[in-house]
């Protein structure tokens, strides 16, 4: 079956967001090198990237312009998403991508995964009879990056496996204000995992239970923690803090400053270096943001 005819003038501009982890517990390392985890993902609209996609005819070339040459290679998640979709469906239109970064790299916010998910969505919408169902598209996204399936969905989700096993949750965030800090600190995700492995040599030999029953128990455990935290949320926790904070002490200082500023909880997101604080008082959150911005720390505020 032939692919839909796409004019070379088919151009669309997409705004992508990011995610934060309110809870991230590494639970082990699989034989293939991937790490298993339990995490609560929450999407945010900002900071975000902007993608300008110009589609060409079937079989056309792919190009990526990003301003930073380090982002323009074949390993970029956007390039991998385009290749993976073509291989899975046979629909491989030419695609020229302009990527304007707004999500800091090395911040643990999943900006690259959000971009890949946006490209997969755009391709799927144009694939006609070759379009994938939601489940198949999520499986394809997981092959591109562990966080990609989350960005193909909507709303907060409890994640297990390598991050691809997602259960939508109604996280009780209404009325809270989130302050997100993006310091000028780069934390390599590969380094963070290697440092955690070195601190936990037993992780590879002691995998946690998996399967539907374990998934249900973990989700129940987390929902119970919603009721006991000062923010009516699960404990804001991140396994990576134990290895990232000693290497980057300024991040611990920023977390402590969030708490001194009135946050009822604060935590690093992903493998760092971004940090977040949850506030009950929006005015105190605003003062906190202005204080960090005055100190030249990039800060964002999100009202739930």
- Token readout for 285 is 């959150």
**Using 50, 70 and 90 to split pLDDT, how confident is the model at 105?**
confident
Residue 114, pLDDT score: 96
- Token readout for 185 is 């600190």
Average pLDDT, the chain: 87
Residue 264, pLDDT score: 93
Kindly state whether residue 3 falls inside one of the protein's structural domains.
no
Quickly tell me which residue has 């949850």 as its tokens: 278
pLDDT score of 227 more than 50: no
36 and 162 in a common domain: yes
Query: Can you state the angle between helices 111-126 and 134-144, rounded to 10 degrees?
Result: 140
**Using 50, 70 and 90 to split pLDDT, how confident is the model at 234?**
low
pLDDT score of 158 more than 70: yes
162 and 97 in a common domain: yes
Least-confidence region, from 167-181, 222-236, 258-272? 222-236
186 and 277 in a common domain: yes
Q: In what order do the strands lie in the sheet with 298-303?
A: 265-268, 275-279, 177-182, 298-303
**Using 50, 70 and 90 to split pLDDT, how confident is the model at 83?**
very high
pLDDT score of 5 more than 80: no
Asked if 16 and 229 count as a contact pair (C-beta separation under 8 A), the reply is no
Please give the average per-residue pLDDT across 98-107, as a whole number: 90
Residue 4, pLDDT score: 54
pLDDT score of 217 more than 50: no
Residue 233, pLDDT score: 58
Residue 147 annotated as catalytic = yes
193 and 63 in a common domain: no
Please give the average per-residue pLDDT across 9-15, as a whole number: 90
Kindly state whether residue 257 falls inside one of the protein's structural domains.
yes
Domain with residue 282: its CATH number is 3.30.70.890
Kindly state whether residue 14 falls inside one of the protein's structural domains.
yes
Residue 49 annotated as catalytic = no
Longest dimension (CA), the chain: 62
159 and 71 in a common domain: yes
pLDDT score of 224 more than 60: no
Residue 73, pLDDT score: 87
208 and 154 in a common domain: no
- Model confidence over 284-294: pLDDT tens digits? 999 999 999 99
118 and 84 in a common domain: yes
Residue 171, pLDDT score: 81
141 and 23 in a common domain: yes
Asked if 75 and 42 count as a contact pair (C-beta separation under 8 A), the reply is no
Name the active-site residue from 19, 49, 115, 255.
19
**Using 50, 70 and 90 to split pLDDT, how confident is the model at 210?**
very low
Task: Give 8's contacts (C-beta < 8 A, 6+ positions apart).
Answer: 54, 55, 56, 57, 94
252 and 126 in a common domain: no
Asked if 185 and 235 count as a contact pair (C-beta separation under 8 A), the reply is no
Domain with residue 29: its CATH number is 3.30.230.10
Q: Of 168, 188, 207, which closes a domain?
A: 168
Kindly state whether residue 1 falls inside one of the protein's structural domains.
no
Count of helices and strands (H, E) across the chain: 9, 13
Question: How many domains does the chain fold into?
Answer: 2
- Model confidence over 53-72: pLDDT tens digits? 999 999 999 999 998 888 88
162 and 195 in a common domain: no
Peptide bond into 47 cis (omega under 30): yes
98 and 54 in a common domain: yes
Q: Of 140, 168, 196, which closes a domain?
A: 168
Kindly state whether residue 209 falls inside one of the protein's structural domains.
yes
**Using 50, 70 and 90 to split pLDDT, how confident is the model at 228?**
very low
Query: Among residues of the chain, what percentage have pLDDT more than 90?
Result: 69
Q: Of 168, 190, 207, which closes a domain?
A: 168
- Model confidence over 243-290: pLDDT tens digits? 999 999 999 999 999 999 999 999 999 998 999 999 999 999 999 999
240 and 99 in a common domain: no
Kindly state whether residue 22 falls inside one of the protein's structural domains.
yes
Quickly tell me which residue has 């966080």 as its tokens: 147
pLDDT score of 124 more than 60: yes
Q: How far apart are CA 181 and CA 268, in angstroms?
A: 9
Name the active-site residue from 5, 49, 68, 147.
147
Quickly tell me which residue has 């939508």 as its tokens: 168
Residue 272, pLDDT score: 85
Q: How far apart are CA 72 and CA 87, in angstroms?
A: 21
Residue 69, pLDDT score: 86
Pairing of strands 10-15, 50-58: antiparallel
Residue 216, pLDDT score: 40
Kindly state whether residue 185 falls inside one of the protein's structural domains.
yes
Task: Give 152's contacts (C-beta < 8 A, 6+ positions apart).
Answer: 117, 120, 121, 134, 137, 138, 141
- Considering only residues 148 and 232, tell me which one the structure prediction assigns the higher pLDDT: 148
Q: How far apart are CA 107 and CA 190, in angstroms?
A: 13
Range of the domain at 194: 177-303
């Amino acid at each position: 079956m032939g692919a839909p005819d796409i004019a070379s003038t088919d151009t669309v501009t997409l705004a992508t967001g990011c995610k934060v982890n309110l809870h991230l517990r590494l639970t082990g390392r699989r034989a293939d090198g991937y790490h298993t985890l339990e995490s609560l993902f929450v999407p945010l609209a900002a900071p975000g990237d902007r993608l300008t996609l110009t589609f060409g005819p079937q079989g056309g070339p792919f190009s990526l312009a990003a301003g930073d040459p380090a982002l323009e290679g074949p390993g970029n998640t956007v390039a991998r998403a385009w290749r993976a979709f073509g291989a899975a469906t046979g629909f491989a239109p030419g695609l020229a991508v302009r990527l304007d970064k707004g999500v800091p790299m090395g911040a643990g916010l999943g900006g690259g995964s959000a971009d890949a998910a946006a490209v997969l969505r755009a391709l799927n919408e144009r694939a006609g009879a070759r379009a994938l169902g939601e489940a198949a598209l999520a499986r394809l996204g997981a092959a591109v990056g562990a966080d990609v399936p989350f960005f193909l969905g909507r709303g907060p989700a409890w994640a297990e496996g390598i991050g691809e096993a997602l259960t939508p949750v109604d996280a009780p965030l209404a009325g809270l204000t989130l302050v997100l800090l993006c310091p000028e600190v780069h934390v390599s995700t590969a380094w963070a995992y290697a440092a955690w492995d070195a601190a936990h040599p037993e992780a590879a030999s002691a995998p946690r239970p998996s399967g539907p029953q374990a998934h249900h128990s973990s989700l129940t455990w987390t929902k119970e923690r919603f009721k006991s935290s000062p923010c009516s949320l699960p404990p804001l926790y991140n396994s990576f803090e134990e290895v990232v904070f000693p290497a980057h002490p300024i991040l611990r200082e920023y977390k402590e400053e969030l708490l001194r500023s009135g946050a009822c909880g604060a935590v690093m997101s992903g493998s760092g270096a971004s940090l977040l604080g949850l506030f009950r008082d929006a005015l105190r959150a605003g003062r906190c943001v202005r204080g960090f911005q005055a100190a030249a720390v990039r800060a964002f505020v999100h009202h739930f």
